[in-house]
């Protein structure tokens, strides 16, 4: 590439990303105002495109907050977080943390929870394909093999913790119903999100199931999961509860496979 051309391209990129003034000297025109106007078209278009990207990733949040407020949120986020991604699909993952931490929005925590919820659903939809384990695949296991069994979660499965009624808000937006008021639960609630075929799903988790799933996703064995459950709900209840969780997870398509124990 011509070295002078590369210098011009780099200067133009710096202007679009950061407002760097070096490129202005290379813009033909009668005065500075004319040059600023021409360059401003690209400077502003880049930011407007990122705002549109955020709107596509957070359509439910946009509807809940209202277009003017959401555009304000998006402008503030773009200003604080220039894109570092070649693929805009991944731009905006930091919005939940931004809403949680920025003083302009942190006093309305339902915004951060809704953004976290919507981003998690988007990731579940885009997750890689993988097989789904069928329950009968476990029929041949000997009783002494269950303790060391390790379940392999489906790539689309994830969990998040929310405090606000974001599921009700999400459903209301999805079904074009009146939006409910934001309401906080007495304590944080774990929510599982996943994809089955081409549809994403979610449901809240009881504390014992959330604890069990956390252990499985951390790579613990089925036996270790049962030990954690025993500590939470008692030894007598842990085995049937673990079996019920496993059956539900497989039925819902949360498990792709298992590591076959030796022996």
Task: Identify the pLDDT of residue 15.
Answer: 66
If one compares 8 and 54, the residue with the highest pLDDT of the two is 54
36 pLDDT tier (thresholds 50, 70, 90): low
For the ranges 9-13, 55-59, 168-172, 187-191, which has the lowest average pLDDT?
A: 9-13
227 pLDDT tier (thresholds 50, 70, 90): very high
Average pLDDT of the chain is 90
192 secondary structure, DSSP code: E
Strand-pair partners of 79: none
If one compares 182 and 10, the residue with the highest pLDDT of the two is 182
- For residues 19-48, give the mean pLDDT: 70
Q: CA-CA distance, 156 to 131, in Å (whole number)? A: 11
- For residues 155-177, give the mean pLDDT: 97
Q: Quote the tokens at residue 91.
A: 């731009």
For the ranges 4-8, 137-141, 180-184, 228-232, which has the lowest average pLDDT?
A: 4-8
- Indicate if the pLDDT at residue 109 is higher than 80: yes
Q: Are 120 and 160 in contact (CB under 8 A)?
A: yes
Question: Cα-flanking dihedrals φ and ψ of residue 135, to 5°?
Answer: -60, -35
Task: Identify the pLDDT of residue 1.
Answer: 62
Whole-model pTM over 0.85: yes
Question: Cα-flanking dihedrals φ and ψ of residue 151, to 5°?
Answer: -85, 145
Task: Identify the pLDDT of residue 44.
Answer: 76
- Indicate if the pLDDT at residue 263 is higher than 60: no
Q: CA-CA distance, 46 to 73, in Å (whole number)? A: 16
């Amino acid at each position: 590439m011509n070295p002078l051309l590369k210098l011009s391209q780099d200067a133009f990129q710096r202007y679009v990303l950061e407002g760097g003034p070096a490129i202005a000297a290379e813009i033909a025109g009668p005065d500075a105002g004319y040059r600023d106007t021409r360059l401003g078209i690209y400077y502003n278009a880049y930011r407007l495109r990122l705002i549109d990207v955020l709107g596509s990733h957070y359509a439910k949040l946009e509807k809940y907050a209202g277009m003017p407020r959401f555009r304000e949120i998006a402008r503030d986020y773009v200003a604080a977080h220039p894109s570092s991604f070649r693929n805009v699909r991944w731009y905006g993952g930091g919005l939940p943390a931004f809403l949680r931490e920025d003083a302009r929005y942190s006093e309305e925590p339902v915004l951060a929870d809704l953004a976290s919820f919507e981003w998690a659903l988007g990731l579940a939809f885009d997750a890689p394909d993988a097989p789904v384990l069928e329950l009968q695949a476990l029929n041949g296991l000997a009783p002494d093999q269950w303790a060391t069994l390790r379940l392999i979660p489906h790539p689309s499965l994830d969990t998040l913790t929310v405090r606000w009624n974001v599921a009700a808000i999400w459903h209301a937006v999805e079904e074009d119903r009146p939006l409910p008021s934001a309401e906080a639960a007495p304590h944080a609630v774990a929510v599982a999100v996943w994809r089955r075929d081409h549809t994403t799903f979610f449901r809240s988790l009881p504390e014992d199931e959330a604890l069990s799933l956390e252990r499985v996703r951390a790579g613990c064995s089925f036996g270790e999961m049962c030990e954690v459950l025993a500590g939470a709900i008692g030894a007598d209840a842990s085995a049937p509860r673990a079996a019920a969780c496993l059956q539900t997870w497989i039925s819902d398509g949360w498990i792709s496979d298992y590591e076959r124990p030796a022996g």
